Amino acid sequence: MEIVQLLKSYSAGRRDFSGVDFREAWMPGLQLSQASLQGVDLTGSNLSHSLLSEVDFSGAMLWRANLSHARLCDTSFERATLIRCQMVGSNLQGSRLVEADLRLADLRNANLSHVALRGAQLCYANLTGATLRGIDFRTADLTGAILTDVQLIDCDFTQEQLRDADGSVQQQLTSDRPPALERDRRLTA
């Protein structure tokens, strides 16, 4: 399917584009909301500065895709592959990244408020300067994740994750949330 055909179909009311192949597509500024893109292949595609709120990318392949500065609120990336995906400055507030593969993803300065990350892989992801609010990280793999200058508000971690976190994260957690840390110790000990 060509991009022009996608836009015409969307304008005509079609919302299900599951399984479509858009590898290496150039679509910055794309505006789709409430669409189903389950299982699509967007490997190496450019969707920067796009408005993709309430889109279902479940099981999609977004390896090396550029979603920088995109609005992705309430979007589902469940079981999606986002390895080396660029999401710099993107707004993912309220999105579902359950069991998503975000290894080596670039999430610098992204808004991840109230994102569901159950079972997500964030190994070596760069979260520098990201807003992390209301997130339960206890089942996410944060091995090697870069958490420099993140804004941590009401987040939950295991003691093992805290031991492996850099000093700035440990300091934020111990100074901002002593009661939550005590709660986490009880839950994960």
pLDDT in tens, 2-25: 888 888 999 999 999 999 999 999
pLDDT in tens, 50-97: 999 999 999 999 999 999 999 999 999 999 999 999 999 999 999 999
Looking from the CA of 41 toward its CB, the CA atoms found within 13 Å total: 6
CATH annotation of 1-189: 2.160.20.80
pLDDT at 174 (0 to 100): 53
In this structure, the strands spanning 151-153 and 131-133 are parallel
**22 close to 2: Cβ distance less than 8 angstroms:** no
pLDDT in tens, 111-170: 999 999 999 999 999 999 999 999 999 999 999 999 999 999 999 988 777 666 655 565
Query: Which of helix, strand or coil describes residue 174?
Result: helix
Tokens of 32: 């789709």
Residues paired with residue 121 on neighbouring β-strands, in sequence order = 101, 141
Distance (Å, rounded) from C-alpha 81 to C-alpha 62? 6
Choose among 109, 106, 111, 107: nearest CA to 84: 106
Judged on CB neighbours under 10 Å (0-12, 13-18, 19+), 62 is: buried
Tokens of 4: 């022009």
Which one is predicted more confidently, 180 or 128?
Answer: 128
Q: Is the pLDDT of residue 183 over 60?
A: no
pLDDT at 165 (0 to 100): 61
Residues paired with residue 86 on neighbouring β-strands, in sequence order = 66, 106
Distance (Å, rounded) from C-alpha 64 to C-alpha 102? 11
**What are the boundaries of each domain within the chain?**
1-189
